Structure 1
Amino acid sequence: TNEVIFHSIADLTVARLATKHNSRNSGNSGSISTLQQTSNPQFSLCIFHSTKSLLQMAESKSAMRKPVFTKVDQLRPGTSGHNLTAKVVSSNMVLQKGRPDGPQVRQMRIAECVVGDETGTIVFTARNDQVDLMKPDATVILRNAKIDMFKGSMRLAVDKWGRVEVTEPASFTVKEDNNLSLVEYELVNVVEE
């Protein structure tokens, strides 16, 4: 039989590589035959007949999850990982460094855009290429957005780990009388006695 034994997660990669050749040549379906506790309680000993089961386990872990979309009124200071669908209410360029005819790498543009949905609005800080996407009345999807604090107020931002996409116009009407960026927060130290 083509058996692979590994004692830790670090050995998983080694086991995968070591049995890649063997699993191609075997017709086994690949299943865990034994799970035993070793003398070291931190590790478990697993015996695999082929890497097919290893690969199936890895593939099931890597399956992409559907994004969970958040509404503007659910945003809180210091949070991240938000996915939102919002309409751009307004866009105002606040900083443009570098020459427009110069190299793209040296240019820096920042715009403050008011974006919102049917629950409220918030100021979104658009940087560089994001500025071009944030046109008034456009509907955008903000993926992996985070809340930054600026002078005690919330600002929505998407960094290099997130994404801004223009999408089809949304059917909702923006609730402009609930601007979360107008709420001022104060950091308070709490001493427990």
Structure 2
Amino acid sequence: MSPKYKDMEVATLSPDQHQVNLRVKVIAQIMFGEVDDGNKSTLSKIKVAEFLVGDSSGCIIVKAINDQISHLQPQTCVLIHNARVEMYRGFMRIVVDQNTDAEIKPFGEASDDKATNANGKADDIQPNLEKNCSLTEYQYVPHVVLNE
């Protein structure tokens, strides 16, 4: 059975990329917090968390909100489907939020999963911690055409 989408490698990601599909191991939770949703009439909060995830090519930070957070447990493998790369202060992050139709699924929940064991643990993915794509700073340089 062929996969519905093509997996990418972390090291091949570029700034502001969309439709990102990754098969990664969750290494650690970096941050967790709650922020206002911006609606003054409801005064509700949005849960936000960041995780370090990786594959054999490198690692990167993933920002997730609300329901997606529960899928990102350290030492498990997940499929991140249709996410986007967002720049935060010049550094790349994978974003899974309400502005995308992205989803995070533990291994074994997709019909095309072959590389998992029964409990969804990440036995087959060894993250490359030497190449952290979230630590590379990018600077916007506008494209300027000079008249010669």
Band the TM-score falls in, shorter-chain normalisation = 0.7 to 0.9
Aligned to 1:165: 105
Q: Indicate yes or no: 2:31 matched with 1:78.
A: no
Aligned to 2:87: 149
**Deviation digits for residues 116-172 of structure 1, max 9, x if unmatched?**
000000000011111111111011100001100000000001234111101123402
3-state DSSP of counterpart to 2:121: coil
Aligned to 1:188: 141
3-state DSSP of counterpart to 1:80: coil
Decide which structure has the larger Cα Rg and report it: 1
Asked if 1 retains the 8 angstrom alpha-carbon contact of 2:35 and 2:48, the reply is no
Q: Indicate yes or no: 2:5 matched with 1:67.
A: yes
Q: Which runs of 4+ in 1 moved over 6 A?
A: none
Aligned to 2:131: 178
User: Match for 1:109 among 43, 47, 57?
Assistant: 47
Alpha-carbon distance in 2 for matches of 1:111, 1:128: 8
Higher relative contact order by CA 8 Å / sep ≥ 6: 1 or 2? 2
Shift of 1:82: 1.2
Task: In structure 1, give the amino acid aligned to 2:102.
Answer: G
TM-score by length of 1: 0.60
Asked if 2 retains the 8 angstrom alpha-carbon contact of 1:93 and 1:109, the reply is no
Q: Indicate yes or no: 2:46 matched with 1:118.
A: no
Aligned to 2:115: none
Shift of 1:176: 0.6
Q: Indicate yes or no: 2:32 matched with 1:90.
A: no
Task: In structure 2, give the amino acid aligned to 1:70.
Answer: M
Give the gaps of 5 or more residues in structure 1.
Answer: 1-64, 99-104
Q: Per residue, is there more helix in 1 or in 2? A: 1
3-state DSSP of counterpart to 1:191: coil
Task: In structure 2, give the amino acid aligned to 1:116.
Answer: G
TM-score by length of 2: 0.77
Report the identity percentage: 31
Shift of 1:97: 4.2
3-state DSSP of counterpart to 2:81: strand
3-state DSSP of counterpart to 2:64: strand
